[in-house]
Every structure is written in C-alpha cells, then in structure tokens.
A = this chain, B = another copy of it.
Amino acid sequence: MKVLVVEDDQYHARYLLDVLADALPEVSEIVHAADGAAGEAEAEAMCATAVVMDLQMEKRNGIEAARAIWARRPATRILFWSNYSDEAYLRGISRIVPEDSAYGYVLKTASRERLKLALRAVLVEGQIMVDREIHRLQRRTASPRHALDDSEYAVLVDLALGLQDKQIAIRQSLSLRTVQNRLLSLYEKLGVEADPDDPADVTTPRNKRVWALSRAFVTGTLNVATVQSAERDYQRRGRTRR
C-alpha cells in the first residue's frame, strides 16, 4: 500500500510520517509532498490509493488538491488533518467528497492514539471517520438556528466578491427581491442586527453588508481560501462567459 502525505509544515510532516510508520506497518511506500500542487502531481505519478492531506497550505489548499485527486480517482482514500474546525473548510469538503469514497477529518489537537486509529480506519479499512469536534460543528450547521442553507451560502460568497444584488440575482437565477430576502436571513443568522438598547445602533445603524461579511470571517463561516477560490472562479466564469 502506498501512502501520500501532503503537508507543508515540516514539524507536523515529520510527526505524521513517524506515526504513519508506527501505525501502519503494511505500508510499502510513503511519499511526502510539501504543497497542494505537488501533492496533486505526486498522487498521479505514484498512483496513491491513500492520502493524508493538510488543509491550510500556502500554494494550493487541501480542498482544491483533494478535488483534483478525486476527479481522477474517486476511490482514493483521503484523511484530512487540520488545525481548524472551520465551517468553511467543512462545507468545502462535504461539497466535493464523491459517493462511496472513504475519507476522514482529524484535528491536529487529537492524541497520537486517535490519529493512529483514524489512519487505520480510513486508509486501510476504508471507513468514514470524522472527529467528534468537527461532527459537533456539522450538527450545529445542520441545526435550524444558525444554519446557512446552501443557497444562502452561495449568496454570501457572491456578497464577499462585492457583487451587487442585481448581479447576484443573475448569477443565482433569482429575482432581485429574493436575493434581498436571502441577505436578510443571512444577517439574522450571522447575528447582524442593531441592538435596540444601544442608541448609537438605532440612530445610525451599521452597514449590514460589511458587518455580515466581517462576522462571516470571524465565525469561520467564510475563510480566505474560500474567497480566493470564488474570486478565481468569478474571473473565469462570470466575465468571459455571459
């Protein structure tokens, strides 16, 4: 069995290689790639069936790399290993994971034992394994209170690009007023609303649009990697076409 490790932090990579050798004696070959692009190329070159993938990397983040790998070989087993229990990352992953393929998500704060367990469960046994911490986040995301449904999320991303309501409406094939309704529920769910007890908030209310974006970043609903991807996507799709 051949395992590919994609991780740009040298200390984490060393630790990971160590645990990997320890936990999975049946591994015949371990390759280490130091960024997403290299990981993609290496996965193709070595025909990796199992990958351990960091999410936050300089050149090309783990989600984009995983999507590319899965596009070629949907059966590849990928264990994501990350610092952050970031909603934006989670949303990104659940969006790209193919049907019937094994994957996992372990936080870097997990113990060595739990990491070993996850490595075996996902890479060898082909199970799905998600860190309990993450799973809690997934619950919360699915709960009605602060949940962002997919269409709301799409509007949020367009908002982050700075698009105005009309353009969002066109891109999402909705009417202007509907987009504005989505924005209203976004504001509510992100906790963007004037405090009735604060006179300043009432007389000159805050700009909800930027406030919402700000809160989306702070709460981890949105992150920089997501926005960058969206921007690239917009440059390609939104402008050359149409």
Chain A interfacial positions (CB closer than 8 Å to B): 9-12, 15, 83, 108-109, 159-164, 166-167, 192, 198, 200-201, 204-214, 217-218, 224, 227-228, 231, 238-239, 242
Contact = CB atoms under 8 A, between A and B. Distances in A.
Given A200-B239, A218-B224, A218-B228, A206 B164 contact: yes
Contacts of A166: 204
A163 B11 contact: no
Given A11-B12, A11-B15, A207-B209, A214 B162 contact: yes
Contact of A242 (B83, B200, B206, B212): B200
A64 B83 CA distance: 21
Given A217-B224, A218-B224, A164 B204 contact: yes
Report copies per complex.
2
A214 B160 contact: yes
A210 B204 CA distance: 19
Contacts of A213: 210, 213-214
Contact of A206 (B12, B161, B206, B224): B161
Q: Which of A201, A211, A212, A214 has the most CB of B within 10 A?
A: A214
A234 to B, nearest CB: 10
A108 B211 CA distance: 33
B242 A208 contact: no
Given A11-B12, A210-B159, A167 B204 contact: yes
A108 to B, nearest CB: 7
B12 A207 contact: no
Given A200-B239, A239-B200, A207 B164 contact: yes
B238 A206 contact: no
Contacts of A198: 239
5 contacts: A161-B211, A164-B204, A200-B242, A209-B209, A217-B227
A14 to B, nearest CB: 9
Contacts of A163: 206-207
A233 to B, nearest CB: 14
- Please list the 5 inter-chain residue pairs (A to B) with the smallest Cβ-Cβ separation, ordered nearest first: A162-B211, A162-B206, A162-B207, A160-B214, A162-B210
